[in-house]
Homo-oligomer: A and B are copies of this chain.
Amino acid sequence: MRLLAFGDSFLLGVGDPYHLGWIGRTVLGRTDVTLYNLGVRRETSGDIAARWRREASSRMASHEPLRLVFSFGCNDCVLEDAGLRVGPADTLKNTQMILAEAAALAPTLMVGPPPVVDPLHRARVASVGDALGIVAGQLGVPYIDVFTALRQAETWEAEAAAGDGAHPGADAYQQMADLVMSHPAWRAFTSDDRSVQAH
């Protein structure tokens, strides 16, 4: 199975001394899965919309089952001089476009954004995350919310504060991996049973 994952620095796993991130941790020991981690630092939903399809094309193979994962949102909610990097309406429009095109290509799943350190930024991420879940649901794409559980565990924010101020360390990435792996939608999605569709 080929697992192609598109997202931001949290998907890439920045801050993880093991260079796995949460998604690398979900496939530990599974040599039947070829993971392409295509997270890119600083990217918004618009950046990912602009590149994912071409990068996917180079990595698909007709003889192997394909799965597409997306995880982004935090960078859209960053305030810069001129306002939000991407406003909520555009975030939802970009996400709808990405997920609709992806789901037509292969089973697709979205993992929501994690809690960030700054309280105001975090509140915007929470709100956008809720909306992303609704958009995904309308398209029949499974959406895994990790925000609330990671917020309650407090590891994410503690590690991020102790690290570079934005990215957590090994323990929080492992918590996020555990949340994703224990979700029924993820188990169906990464099962090698070709009759299982993610939606």
Q: How far is the CA of A55 from the CA of B58 in the complex (A)?
A: 11
Interface contact B31-A17, CB-CB below 8 Å: yes
Does A112 have its Cβ within 8 Å of any Cβ on chain B? Answer: no
Q: Collect the chain B residues with CB atoms within 8 Å of residue A164's CB.
A: 31
Q: Collect the chain B residues with CB atoms within 8 Å of residue A51's CB.
A: 58
Q: How far is the CA of A60 from the CA of B44 in the complex (A)?
A: 15
In A16-50, which residues have CB < 8 Å from any B CB? 16-20, 24, 27-31, 34-37, 40-43, 47
Interface SS majority for chain A: loop
Tally chain A residues at the interface, Cβ within 8 Å.
33
Q: How far is the CA of A31 from the CA of B27 in the complex (A)?
A: 21
A17 to chain B, nearest CB (A): 5
Contacts A20-B19, A51-B58, A55-B55; A163 near B41 (Cβ below 8 A): no
Interface contact A28-B19, CB-CB below 8 Å: yes
